[in-house]
Chain A
Amino acid sequence: MKRKLLIFSISLGLFLSSCEKMVQVEPKNSVSANVALGTISGYESLLNSAYVRFIAFTYYGRDFVLLPDVMSDNLYTELSVANGRYISQNSNQINAHMNLWTNSYLIINEVNTILDNIDKLTDPRVSQIKAEAYSLRALAYFDLARVYGYEPVNVATAGAGFDKSVPLRLKSTAVVADAAQSPRATVTEVYKSIEADLRSAIALFGSGASASRYRFNKGAAYGLLGKVYIYSGRWAEAVTELDNAMSTTNTGARLAAAGNYVAAFKATPNTESLLEFVISPTAQLSGVVGGNDSMYSYTHPNGYNAISTFGGQTASDELFALFNAGDDRLNMFFKFGGTSASPAPLFNWVDKYSAALGVYTDNAKVIRFSDLLLLKAEALAEQTQYAAAAAIVTQLRANRNATGVTVPTDINIKEFIQTERRRELFFEGQRWFDLKRRAVGISKPAKTGVATLAPTDFRLLAPIPNAEVLLGIQKNPGY
């Protein structure tokens, strides 16, 4: 009996331990962290994931490029044909805003994972990957910071001292405990981190003269740093870094020659792009093949070129009135009805995202030469170097065949530069931020019926997502 019991318990024990194995299944579509981060190609793939998140529809894939113009004065959403798109943002309704939060932090966690772990490998590609990771983190934080908080240059004025920016996470989330809530850092802290990341990146990047402009490169990192200094009111440093950015040793981007403004936007990459995110039909498809949500679709009338769209985002009358005849940039506009060439009313449409290479394939121009040029002019003007600033603007206007107007060489150049930025950078995601950082209020197209938003209006900051507020993140004032 005893023996029987023994045999029974042994066999039961064996049975149970084999049970353990019987109920193990390894996934095939996914791998564990150790496997993923064991090879350099794992890090390259992780970096690609961060890039591809930048072209999400909510980010450079569309909203972050169009909404800054929708929410300010360059764009009027033509109600009758907009299919509901951007109607509430165009009239600045509460909570109708840019929403980058979740997507940006996915990017940040991915680049943090790279930066936390990649030093375990020795491979010649490590420094380039790290440089790009630092740069992408800087760009993600810069965009978050200007959507959800005030800038160093206006915290005290428009912000009335509200100096909360976004949570600053510089370590990856590997286990649940790492996910614990992190409060909002101050504007100063976030901008300091952005600056440090860009400095690290610049030190790691190789020469930018012939680097791919579809990925972060030395020139683009300098350009972003220059822009960060503009937002910080650090004018002299801005000039230095913008010069570095535009130097031929750091980038292959050049100002387009006169007569080539429109053509440059149909080239890939744009002659003037220091950094351009590639938008491929496959990456943006997500299963939708019909009428789609691309930038082309939003900015072109339905049926134009026989392509179905959700068009409704037109140039505001105020924007169109800024140009004189002969200006190359006027060629970027075309007149068309809501769905057909006639009859009236016809609207002014913008052909910056022209689908020249296919419906989804208008790349996002993240850092463009003329943007940097005008920022440099602005930095000079802020340092009262009006003539030097005017010379830059005059140079740019010559390349656009924009003649017949005298560029002021006194303090009026400051306002002239901003208007030139509108003429140059409309529909490129700049206008809202230019108005916001300069604390001059957000002017609106007359047709929207919305009055100018004061620089202190609470709607200048985007609402913090409710889920985050519930988990303890401080709300923005007014919401």
Chain B
Amino acid sequence: MKKLLQSLFILVFFAFGAMAQERTITGTVTSQEDGLPVPGATVRVKEIPNLGTQTGANGKFSLRVPANAKTLVITFLSYETKEFAIPSNNVLNAVLSSDSRSLNEVVVTGYGTQSKKELTGAVSSITGEKIQNLPVQTFDKAMQGRAAGVQVTTNSGQPGSGISVRVRGVGTINGSAEPLYIIDGVQVNAGGLSTATTQNVLGAINPNDIESIQILKDAATAGIYGSQAANGVVVVTTKRGKQGKTAVKLSVQQGVNSQINPYELLNSQQYYELRREAVVNRALRLGNPVATAVTNFNTASFGSATVDPTALTTTDWYNEVFRDANFGEYNLSFSGGNEKTKFFISTNFNNTDGVAIASDYKKGGIRGNIDNQISDKLSLEANLSLTYTKSGGPSTNAGFFTNTPFTGALYIPPYNTVYLPDGSYRNGANLRNAQNVNIIQHLNEELRSTKSIQSISNVALNYKPIPGLTLRAFGGIDFADAANYNYRPTTIPIYAPTGGSGSENSLRNFNFNTSATASYAKSINNDHNFSVLGGFEYRSATQEQLGASAQGFPSPLFVLISSASTPLTTTSTFTQYKIASLIGSLKYDYKSKYLFSGSLRYDGSSRFGNDYKFGLFGGVSGGWRISQEEFLKDSKIVSELKLRGSFGVVGTQPTTDFGALALYGSPGSTGAYNGGGSIRPTQLANPELTWEQTQQTGIGLDFGFLNNRITGAIDIYKKKTTKLLLDRALPSNSGFTSIRENGGRLDGKGLDFELTTVNLDLPNGFKWTTTFNIAFFKNKLIELNNGATRIGNTQIVGYPTNILYTFKYAGVNPADGRPMYYDKNENLTYVPVAGVNADDRIIGYGNPKSFGGFGNTFSFKGFSLDVLFQYQYGNSSYLQTAQILEASGMSIENQVTSQLGRWTVPGQITSVPRAYDGYTEPGGYDPTNLSSRYIQEASYIRLKQVNLSYRLPSSLVSKIGLQGVNVFLQGLNLATITNYRGEDPENTGNNLNGYPQPKTISGGITIDL
């Protein structure tokens, strides 16, 4: 070590020994916006790029420079790089202004980094500070509304649950549409960890540890990830230490989540009126005695032959499920280092209660990111993290399940109270028309939890034997161990007959990827700049599960399955895939004016069939920085103008690991006959199964005007996906219903636009910045496999994907109150018929026409106000919840008050059919079946985030010995403008039992010690 130091010293001495005359420059770097010191800024001598230092925590620096040095270059992330002539008095007080859209930003693309200036592909970036202190449990949520062409959808309000991300629309039918996530080089198997509740793998990364998120959108940039890159790549980089005094940062945030409940439910009197009317209408229609029907109804529903509706009390069960829930988030980080070793250490703890009772999320994690310069040629990087997460929460499986919170609560008629007068839960015969489940008791007494330990860590060694050449060895793991637990005690009546039941499931994900790469960069005369990279990568992803369930617990106090009398089932599963790849890339630019970049990947995957085991992917892109040309170089108006073009081929892997093989499986104990185990053929072989292939062509223009006060980018692109993973239906009389194969074609095209403007930048420090992004996307199914023209009713050749297909509701016949539909000839009918060339038709599409975000930042002397809107336009959604809630009293479930507008007298114009017990009138159609009545456009604009922060003046703060104090107040999901009648326009699709997103208000403080 000493020797190394010595040689380093000699080297430095040798390099600068010739310069006899030296002087020391001192000074302070401050920010133009708030006048505060800028710690960690790099101060370099322009003439000798190797010579430099960093400002300390107080923004001060001191640098010994040779006498011939004339200019200092000061750079700092998200500030404009500035050059200063070295003053004769050797004191330089530099003021940096923040870069509205930093073109000097470094972008992490694939296996290297690139300056944004030289970028030829389409990449969206989100800096860590934008998502700092956002009260979200997983960083993927933080991308919402902030990147053009990246659609982020929060499907659930359960804290820490999964979300869906679509980069440049949907280009697949059965493949995964989620992007590839890469965290500090580790390819992460995103998804869920829980079999009991919901837990998102990406929770392993603390959002506050993130330095930047890059989203690689075009196929040429993403092409280096080959068969995994068709849905784009999200590259996350965590923070690293900087040379200088150790910076300690503490942040504390407390807040409250509250429900957003759009439903106004019937009270007991209204419920009785509607239900009785339904029963009477049925009796009249069938010619049965009305009095008997009413008596039967009263007896069945209320337990006595006559009912006085005015004496009924009302309980809003849906609201009973909700509460105002607290959360707290605590972060502490240390970063610093010297010229040899730098570190970033952080710990965090998050404690969030869900707005539904019995749902919560607790997470604690630590991270250590370390860089060490072992010798002048050899350096080490390590990112180590460990996270423990405990999620508890009800099942939010979509569907009509009586024991799930939101569906369960809707079932229960309002005249049932939650508790009996003696304080016990209302149950059994006392709980009427409620599918035997007191959902409040069920939520409180059923135990569901997932406890997981995760690590996403890596180590890399870099060796630079000669200038320009870097050899890199990288190894990373994505590990998760989740213990899932579910217990249903006998105190819940429906579980009493079986003596209570419990299940435990242990899930382990072990994924790793290793790579060896060599990269070489060379500049000839500062005009021709080359860099090449080549390497090998190997990835393995394994998931194993082990589970058991049992029934017959001796008492509700015994909750582990080992205490149950009857073991029921055991499960153990193993699934794995492996990918081996050769990678290569080439970059060239001429005077940073003409840019070229190419990438190649040769991927082999265990998921591919034997006949197509390996595939070649990659792309090329080029750019022309017009603003560097002579005719624009001195333009006062145009500060940046770059034309980009790209073409690439990427892939999507089959979703199942063994999809190409012929398999015999065992259904386990559930498939045993009289105690004897069974096996059965489960899948036919398809040795030709392989990747989906997406070609993407795009052109883009980056621009900056008026000294970059207006910056932005516009991109248009076309996608063509062939070899789609599709199921071919087999005659089910063959014993198999389908086989997965490649075929067909899906085209897409779109436009991404983002714009940042500095609207006001006043000398008094007031600054107003606006960011806006919008994306348009449209796809069209060109062809299916095997000559098919449609897949059910959701995909039809010649139309966009994600079709909502059903009958068109024509409202209520004013004469008799019965629901009517349009038949295929646009005539009215009571009984629509489904089928080929029948009455059902395309009603809408699930994919939005456009979406994006709109944000404003106002700052003034330490105050900063951020307001972000997020919007989506043109997508339709089912309203499955409305199929229960808007049933005009036809069923026992509670209804929303709009159903009081049902048809009652001839001539009445209404869209709500007359009440009819049991749904279907003779010769009619069940009006609660799906029709356009239950489909609605779900466009919305949402005030996603408001953040007001104040940075206390340093003069004040330093008096109490602190470096900086920032207090903030913020709100999430504060308001939404939409016509959508469901819980949440973000949660579309199969949304029955959807857990609505909460409204969040929080306050916090960040202290730099």
Contacts and interface: CB of A to CB of B under 8 A. Distances in A.
B684 A173 contact: yes
A416 interface: no
A311 to B, nearest CB: 11
A166 interface: yes
Given A27-B658, A181-B731, A289-B495, A280 B684 contact: no
B664 A33 contact: yes
B436 A308 contact: yes
Contact of B662 (A32, A88, A215): A32
Given A23-B606, A81-B300, A359 B671 contact: no
A109 B435 CA distance: 39
Contact of B678 (A46, A80, A173): A46
Contacts of B732: 101-102, 105, 465, 467-468
A273 B604 CA distance: 58
A278 B496 CA distance: 24
Contact of A32 (B606, B614, B661): B661
A453 B684 CA distance: 43
Residue among A19, A28, A42, A181 with most chain B CB within 10 A = A19
List the 10 closest A-B pairs by CB distance, nearest first.
A109-B735, A48-B678, A179-B734, A49-B678, A36-B664, A30-B663, A290-B494, A51-B673, A49-B680, A28-B574
Nearest to A296: B497
Given A80-B297, A283-B670, A23 B662 contact: no
Given A23-B578, A36-B681, 5 more contacts: A83-B435, A176-B686, A215-B674, A280-B675, A473-B731
Contacts of A215: 674
A175 B674 contact: no
A22 interface: yes
B312 to A, nearest CB: 19
A467 B737 CA distance: 9
Contacts of A181: 731, 733
B334 to A, nearest CB: 41
Contact of A214 (B614, B664, B674): B674
Interface in B561-584: 568-569, 572-580
B444 interface: no
Contacts of B574: 27-29
B42 interface: no
Contacts of B686: 176
Nearest to B682: A30
A302 interface: yes
A471 B729 contact: yes
Contact of A48 (B437, B677, B684, B729): B677
Contacts of B606: 23-25
Interface string B282-315: 0000110000000011011101110000000000
B666 A45 contact: yes
Interface of B: 286-287, 296-297, 299-301, 303-305, 402-403, 428-429, 432, 435-437, 488, 493-498, 501, 538, 551, 568-569, 572-580, 604-606, 608, 613-614, 657-658, 661-667, 669-686, 729-737, 739, 835-836, 917-918, 920, 922
A101 B671 CA distance: 19
A313 to B, nearest CB: 16
Given A45-B678, A52-B678, A291-B435, A19 B731 contact: no
Interface in A336-395: 337-340, 343-345, 359
A280 B729 contact: no
Interface in A25-68: 25, 27-33, 35-36, 42, 44-49, 51-52, 55
Interface residues of A, number: 87
A412 B947 CA distance: 89
Interface in A280-331: 280-283, 285-286, 289-291, 302-303, 306-308
Contacts of A339: 300, 429, 432
A468 B664 CA distance: 24
Interface string A6-33: 0000000000000110111101111111
B673 A176 contact: no
Contacts of B301: 80
B661 A27 contact: yes
Given A29-B573, A109-B736, A36 B613 contact: no
Residue among B303, B437, B579, B670 with most chain A CB within 10 A = B670
Contact of A289 (B299, B488, B578, B658): B488
Given A19-B580, A179-B734, A468-B731, A291 B402 contact: yes
18 contacts: A23-B605, A27-B657, A29-B574, A35-B664, A36-B664, A45-B678, A48-B676, A49-B680, A108-B733, A169-B733, A169-B735, A181-B733, A281-B568, A282-B569, A285-B569, A289-B551, A303-B428, A340-B429
Nearest to A102: B732
A470 interface: yes
A339 B435 CA distance: 11
A30 B300 contact: no
Contacts of A207: none
A282 B737 CA distance: 26
A428 interface: no
A179 B666 contact: no
B573 A344 contact: no
A308 B493 contact: yes
Contacts of B305: 343
B538 A175 contact: no
Contacts of B736: 109, 173, 179
B735 A280 contact: no
Contacts of A308: 436, 493-494, 497
B681 A113 contact: yes
A83 B494 CA distance: 15
Contact of B680 (A110, A338, A465): A110
A398 interface: no
Given A30-B658, A283-B671, A19 B679 contact: no
A426 to B, nearest CB: 24
Contacts of B676: 44-45, 48
A48 B569 contact: no
A303 B493 CA distance: 10
A87 interface: yes
Given A22-B580, A23-B606, A343 B667 contact: no
B918 A87 contact: yes
B789 to A, nearest CB: 11
A392 B866 CA distance: 91
A107 to B, nearest CB: 9
Given A22-B580, A108-B735, A32 B658 contact: no
A449 B922 contact: yes
Contacts of A113: 681
Interface in A149-200: 166-167, 169, 172-173, 175-176, 178-182
Nearest to B572: A29
A79 interface: yes
A109 B426 CA distance: 50
A258 interface: no
Given A48-B678, A80-B297, A23 B551 contact: no
A466 interface: yes
Contact of A20 (B613, B677, B729, B739): B613
Contacts of B551: 281, 289
A214 B673 CA distance: 10
A52 B679 contact: no
A109 to B, nearest CB: 2
Contact of A23 (B569, B579, B661, B729): B579
A25 B677 contact: no
A110 B681 CA distance: 7
Contact of B673 (A36, A93, A101, A278): A278
B573 to A, nearest CB: 5
A54 to B, nearest CB: 9
B667 A291 contact: no
A359 B568 CA distance: 14
Contacts of A303: 428-429
Interface string A459-479: 000000111101111000000
